Structure 1
Amino acid sequence: MARVNADPESLRALRDALRRGQEDISRAVEGMRGSFKSAQWNDDRRTQFERELEGFLSSVTAFSKEADELKEYLSRKADDLDRYLGR
C-alpha cells in the first residue's frame, strides 16, 4: 500500500514562504537600483559597476521568477494530496 509522506498544509506553508521571499527579493532589488541611481558617483568605474550590479540583480530576479514554478508545483502537490487523503 502506498504511503503519503507529505503534509498538504506544510507544502502550502512552504509555498507561502517562497511568496514572501519573492516579495522581499523584489523590494531589495528595487531598493538597490534606487540607491545606485541616487548615488553621487560619476566616474569611469561607475559604468562598469552598473553593468556588474545589473548582472547580479538579473540573476536574483531570475531566481524569483523560477520560484513561481516551484510555488505552482507545491500548490498542485498539496491539492493532489488533499484529494488522495479524501479532504
Structure 2
Amino acid sequence: MSVNADPDKLRELAKKLKRSGEQIEQMQRQALGALRSSGWNDRERQRFEAALSRDLKSAAAIAHKLRGEYPQALERKARALDEFRR
C-alpha cells in the first residue's frame, strides 16, 4: 500500500479550512451589522434582511463544516498516516 499524502500538509489544510470558516462567520456578522446600522428602515429593508438572513444561514452551515467536520476528517487521516508510517 502506498501513502499518497503528507500528514503535516493535511494538518495545514485543516488549519486553513478552520480559518476560512472563521472568516465566513466574521463576514456574516459584518454584513448584518452594516445593514442594521445603515439607517434603512422600511418594509423593503425587512424583506431584504429576511432574504439575506436566509442566504447567510446557508453560509453558516458551510462555515460550521469548515471549522469542524472537514478539519476533523483531515486530522483523522493524518493520524492514520502517521500510524501507517511507523
Question: Normalising by structure 1, what TM-score?
Answer: 0.93
Distance 1:15 1:57 in 2: 23
**Matched residue pairs, number?**
85
Map 1:5-84 onto structure 2 (within 5 A): 5-67=4-66, 68-84=68-84
List alignment gaps of at least 5 residues for structure 1: none
Give secondary structure in 2 for the equivalent of 1:3: coil
User: How far has the Cα of 1:85 moved from its partner?
Assistant: 0.4
Identity %: 36
Give secondary structure in 1 for the equivalent of 2:40: coil
Runs of 4+ in structure 1 deviating by more than 6 angstroms, as ranges, are none
Distance 1:10 1:53 in 2: 36
Distance 1:20 1:66 in 2: 12
List alignment gaps of at least 5 residues for structure 2: none
Question: Normalising by structure 2, what TM-score?
Answer: 0.94
How large is the Cα RMSD of the aligned pairs?
A: 0.8
User: How far has the Cα of 1:58 moved from its partner?
Assistant: 0.4
Give secondary structure in 2 for the equivalent of 1:41: coil
Give the letter for the 1:57 counterpart: L
